[in-house]
C-alpha cells in the first residue's frame, strides 16, 4: 500500500456509559475507530466486552485490538458484532499462524500487534499472510501509559525492509511526539487519551491529524 497516513481513535474503557459517550463523540469527527479489548489476564486491566460494543449499533467502521489470551476464542463474536479487522498479539498465542487463517476465513482483515520488547525477527514468517503490523509504543494494558521512544527506531528499520506493508503504532501518542512518529513512515496512528481525556475531543483529533499529515514522508 502507499505510505498515506491516518489517525484512528482508540477507544479503551471498562465503563459501558463511558463507552457510549466515546463512540458518540467519535462518530462526530471520523468514521473509523479501534476498540481496545482487555481480559485482565494477558494485561492486568479489563475493558468493556464485545457484547457491550455490539449493543451500541455504531455506524463506525471499526476494528478490535485484542489484548487477550486465547484470541481465537473471541473471533466469532467480533465478526458477528461488525468488526472489519482483528488485531491480536503475537505474545498471546503459540499459534499466530492459525489465528491469522481463522480471522481471514471469517472475512476479516488480520493484524498482528507486537509489544515493545518483542523482536520483529520473530514475526517475519507471518508477514506474507498479514494485512498489517501494529507496534505497541507502551507496555499495554493501561490508558495513558508512558511512551517508549525506542520503538520508533524499530519502526524506521521495519519500514525500510517492508515498504508496502501497513504499519500502525499505538500507545502514548500526544502532540509532543506525533511529528516524530509520523516521520517514521507509519500508515496508522492510534490515539486514545490525547483525544478522549481532553476538553474538546474533536478538536484534539483534528489538530493531531493535521500534524501527522504535515510530517508524513
Q: How many CB atoms lie within 10 A of CB 199?
A: 6
Q: Where are the alpha helices (DSSP H) in 82-200?
A: 96-105, 151-161, 178-182, 193-196
170 tagged catalytic: yes
Residues 6 or more apart whose Cβ sits within 8 Å of residue 55: none
3-class secondary structure, 188: strand
36 tagged catalytic: yes
* Residue from 14, 15, 31, 36 carrying the catalytic annotation: 36
**What is the distance between the alpha carbons of residues 26 and 121, in angstroms, rounded to a whole number?**
35
Contact 45, 69 (CB under 8 A): no
* Residue of 6, 8, 64, 40 lying closest to 186 (CA atoms): 6
* Residue from 14, 39, 97, 170 carrying the catalytic annotation: 170
* Residues belonging to the active site: 36, 170
Amino acid at each position: 500500500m502507499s505510505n498515506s497516513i491516518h489517525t484512528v481513535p482508540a477507544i479503551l474503557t471498562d465503563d459501558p456509559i463511558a463507552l457510549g459517550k466515546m463512540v458518540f463523540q467519535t462518530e462526530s469527527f471520523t468514521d473509523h475507530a479501534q476498540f481496545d479489548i482487555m481480559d485482565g489476564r494477558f494485561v492486568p486491566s479489563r475493558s468493556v466486552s464485545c457484547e457491550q460494543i455490539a449493543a451500541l449499533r455504531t455506524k463506525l467502521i471499526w476494528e478490535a485490538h485484542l489484548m487477550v489470551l486465547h484470541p481465537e476464542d473471541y473471533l466469532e463474536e467480533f465478526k458477528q458484532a461488525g468488526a472489519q479487522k482483528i488485531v491480536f498479539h503475537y505474545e498471546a498465542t503459540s499459534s499466530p499462524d492459525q489465528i491469522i487463517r481463522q480471522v481471514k476465513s471469517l472475512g476479516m482483515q488480520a493484524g498482528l500487534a507486537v509489544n515493545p520488547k518483542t523482536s520483529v525477527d520473530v514475526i517475519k514468517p507471518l508477514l506474507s499472510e498479514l494485512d498489517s503490523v501494529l507496534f505497541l509504543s507502551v507496555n499495554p494494558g493501561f490508558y495513558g501509559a508512558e511512551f517508549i521512544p525506542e520503538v520508533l527506531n524499530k519502526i524506521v528499520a521495519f519500514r525500510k525492509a517492508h515498504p508496502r506493508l501497513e504499519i500502525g503504532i499505538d500507545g502514548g501518542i500526544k502532540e509532543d511526539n506525533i511529528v516524530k512518529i509520523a516521520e517514521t513512515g507509519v500508515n496508522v496512528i492510534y490515539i486514545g487519551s490525547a483525544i478522549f481525556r481532553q476538553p474538546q475531543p474533536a478538536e484534539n483529533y483534528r489538530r493531531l491529524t493535521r500534524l501527522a499529515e504535515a510530517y508524513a514522508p
